[in-house]
Structure 1
Amino acid sequence: MTPARQTPPEPRDWVLLLFLSFVWGGAFMSMAVALEQYGPFTVAAGRIGIGALALLAIVVVTRPKDLAIRDLKSLGFILLLGILNFALPFSLLAWALQQVPSAFAGIAMGSSPIFVLLLAYLFVPDEQIGPRRIAGVILGFVGLLVLILPGATDELGAGGTIAARVACVGAALCYSVGAILIRRAPPVPPMVFTAGMLTAGALVLAPLALLVEGMPEVTAERATWAMLYAGIFPTGLAFLLRVVLIRSAGPVFMSLVAYVVPLWAVLLGVILLGETLGANTYLAAAIILSGVGLTQLRFLRPR
């Protein structure tokens, strides 16, 4: 299949980008609250399953004929992306959030444009990389080392083992690979495509959650409400808009959301959950976002 042509972002693309940054910024906080009662695989599977049910209900009412996907290539993309976009990164984040603050996870996710750039250069023909972008990639990886290395943040309040920190960055890498594959996927309607990915991710992860953590006891506590919020808004709605934005303006433009997501994650985590972050974590965030800025300068520069 010929890859979709890169087009300049429209004003509506910028509006979607800002909305996504706010919704995703609150996702880390909601997952942290859900983990107060549920295990990490249950939180990940519950978030994916709730998002899948919400979108499937909409599709059944509005576009039921689109559910009849018989193309094996499309089904293959849906299954693969259900794992890369949902089952794997959500599991990594939920496991890591047992040890690191939600704000830390949001900052780590800010590294995704670095990975997207490298992957886009390899797999998207109209993406070019020059000295400025190479410098941005190097700077971004320096920020990741500051964020992850043992002892770099322990004494300054971030906490968590090195494995938990690496898991957060691994989730960012999963999203980056998914963004490239979405751009190259067959032209399935976005809502059906997103609902299919969520359903595939839930079917893969739910058995593992039941096997490892057993049947969850659902109560009316805030952890359940947090999981419902995470499933409907940062998962079902936001990932639908993510597919729309990638197909409209491309994966590199969509990755600009990583500028604002860490800011919302820090604000919501510190203000609503009372989390604390050390000076080194903020330094790492500044280095990562500076590197992202160098790689994305053509989108940030006024026309």
Structure 2
Amino acid sequence: MTRNWIYLVLLSVIWGASFMGVSLALDGFGPLGVAAIRITMGAVLLTGLAFAMGIGLPGLAQSRLWLHVAGMGLFSNAIPFFLLSWGQQHVTSGFAGITMAVVPLLVLPLAHVFVPGETLTPRKTIGFAIGFIGVGVLIGPGALARSGAALEFWAQLACIAAAGCYAIGSIFTRLAPKSDQIAFSAAGLLVATVAVLPVALSLKGLPEMPGATAFWAMVYLGVFPTALATILLVKVVQSAGPSFMSIVNYLVPVWSVLFGTILLSEALPSSFLGALALILVGLAVSRARPHRRRP
């Protein structure tokens, strides 16, 4: 259990910096290009690692496993990466952050229906709701502020759809037949690459050489929030379940604010400590084991 918490915190740090990475990468690549390049880069890295370790990819005869591989690749990578990259051009960063905090609330009913042992209890619901309120306090009133962009409404729907995709992807990952986690992760990114890369090339063609900042932002996105994060995501979901994994969406905004304060010299919100306290209380309530009286 301790290992899962370490992975979860590490994921929150990696993904907390990814919003800044996407914003920087968009200066040199379009939203479809950002999604396609980071997924392709992650697929190449993980596939190379799988074969270098002598693991390879799942066999083609494992049709049930590949169904879950496709579900993870499409709903945890291809579709939400594009939706968020496009949506972040037209909505405030606060709105994008608050929609990611909705993921745990979407996972709860899905896991209750589809995942054995993931019962929707009042304690878990209350804990997740407190965590969501904490994220809302952290982001502040600007979370629902309008950006004034012409496509803002559709971009908001895109962000909400991305949150739904992440919830569905975690269910596919949890219900997958047992397999090597690196092979499963590599195969998922390969499926996502096949889905996104041809579309990006046909619509946008090969991208021009970007500036150094956009280039290195893209390298970061491909190596850490895509390749490494996919392995960690699969490990945590298959070990601790989608509800536990969804907690990361409450921690990501915390790191996002801290990175903005440390790296971009942004002012630390006055509500930060109060919001952090709410998030931690929510996590404690949602993960607390029910007290059982002795007979």
- Band of TM-score, shorter chain: 0.7 to 0.9
Partner SS for 1:218: coil
Show CA shifts across 1:199-230 (max 9, x none).
Answer: 11011111111222222112452111111110
The 4+ residue runs of structure 1 with deviation greater than 6 A are 137-147, 274-280
1:185 — aligned with what? 176
2:117 — aligned with what? 126
> What does 1:38-117 align with in structure 2 at a 5 Å threshold?
38-102=29-93, 104-117=95-108
The TM-score, its normalising length taken from structure 2, stands at 0.82
- Give, in angstroms, the shift of residue 134 of structure 1: 4.7
- Give, in angstroms, the shift of residue 115 of structure 1: 0.9
C-alpha distance in 1 between matches for 2:130 and 2:257: 21
Say if 2:69 and 2:188, in contact at 8 Å, map to a contact too: yes
> What does 1:1-303 align with in structure 2 at a 5 Å threshold?
10-102=1-93, 104-135=95-126, 153-154=144-145, 161-269=152-260, 271-273=262-264, 293=283, 296-298=286-288
- Give, in angstroms, the shift of residue 168 of structure 1: 2.0
Give, as a single letter, the amino acid of the residue that structure 2 aligns with 1:298. A
Number of equivalences: 286
Partner SS for 2:288: helix
C-alpha distance in 2 between matches for 1:13 and 1:64: 23
Say if 2:57 and 2:186, in contact at 8 Å, map to a contact too: no
C-alpha distance in 1 between matches for 2:143 and 2:249: 22
Bigger mean CA offset, 235-244 vs 262-271:
262-271
Change (3 A) 1:300 1:178: farther
Bigger mean CA offset, 218-227 vs 83-92:
218-227
Partner SS for 1:296: helix
C-alpha distance in 1 between matches for 2:36 and 2:202: 12
- Give, in angstroms, the shift of residue 119 of structure 1: 0.6
Change (3 A) 1:300 1:66: farther
The TM-score, its normalising length taken from structure 1, stands at 0.80
Say if 1:103 and 1:262, in contact at 8 Å, map to a contact too: no
Gaps of 5+ in 2: none
Show CA shifts across 1:280-300 (max 9, x none).
Answer: 9x9xx88x9599648724279
Show CA shifts across 1:86-139 (max 9, x none).
Answer: 110001110011123546433421221111111111112212223444556777
Say if 1:103 and 1:270, in contact at 8 Å, map to a contact too: no
Change (3 A) 1:295 1:44: farther
C-alpha distance in 2 between matches for 1:153 and 1:204: 32
C-alpha distance in 1 between matches for 2:290 and 2:134: 21
Q: Percent identity?
A: 39
RMSD: 3.5
- Give, in angstroms, the shift of residue 77 of structure 1: 1.8
Change (3 A) 1:22 1:181: same
Gaps of 5+ in 1: 1-9
Change (3 A) 1:279 1:38: farther
C-alpha distance in 1 between matches for 2:57 and 2:143: 50
Change (3 A) 1:295 1:208: farther
C-alpha distance in 2 between matches for 1:295 and 1:44: 36
Bigger mean CA offset, 33-42 vs 204-213:
204-213
Change (3 A) 1:21 1:152: closer
Say if 1:102 and 1:265, in contact at 8 Å, map to a contact too: no
- Give, in angstroms, the shift of residue 274 of structure 1: 6.8
